[in-house]
Amino acid sequence: MIDMVERYQNMHIGTINLDHKTSSTKIIMEAVMELYQRIMNKQLLVRRINITANNIVDEVIAIKENHYEQIDLFTDYQEKAEKRQDEQTEKELQKAMIDIKKKYGKNAIIKGMNLQEGGTTIERNRQIGGHQE
């Protein structure tokens, strides 16, 4: 019994909520990193990370939904509008990258670090289901 108690004492569990529906990789990653920094114990090694998303909706449905917001005096609505515009720009960039990869292949756009020695993305993209062609 003590073994089980010690085993689960090292588990770190937490949740974070986004303030609006989004498909932004940047916003989701920022939330994940914020949660990780909040709950991690720097003296322990990470063995596994599980991430679960709830209340997922199709983007078309999310766009059609009416969005109501309580207005207050302390919110900078200009800043919120700029963030929404940044999200839209990111979405357009992601769509352009997907279109390029569909037309020219997975290796058409890669991160610079994948060109360094030991980079595996290019080779992995050439494989089918994780196997050599």
In a domain, 62, yes or no: no
The whole-angstrom separation of Cα 47 and Cα 45 is 6
Per-residue pLDDT tens, the chain, 133 aa: give them: 455 545 555 567 889 999 888 888 899 999 999 999 998 888 888 888 888 888 888 888 888 887 777 888 998 999 989 998 999 999 999 999 999 999 998 888 888 888 888 888 888 888 777 666 5
Query: For the chain, what is the domain count?
Result: 2
Predicted structure pTM score? 0.64
Q: Is residue 99 part of a domain?
A: yes
Residue 63, in any domain of the structure:
no
Is residue 30, in this structure, part of any structural domain at all? Answer: yes
Helix or strand holding residue 100 (H, E): helix 77-104
Residues 102 and 125 both lie in one domain: yes
| Host domain of residue 98 | 69-133
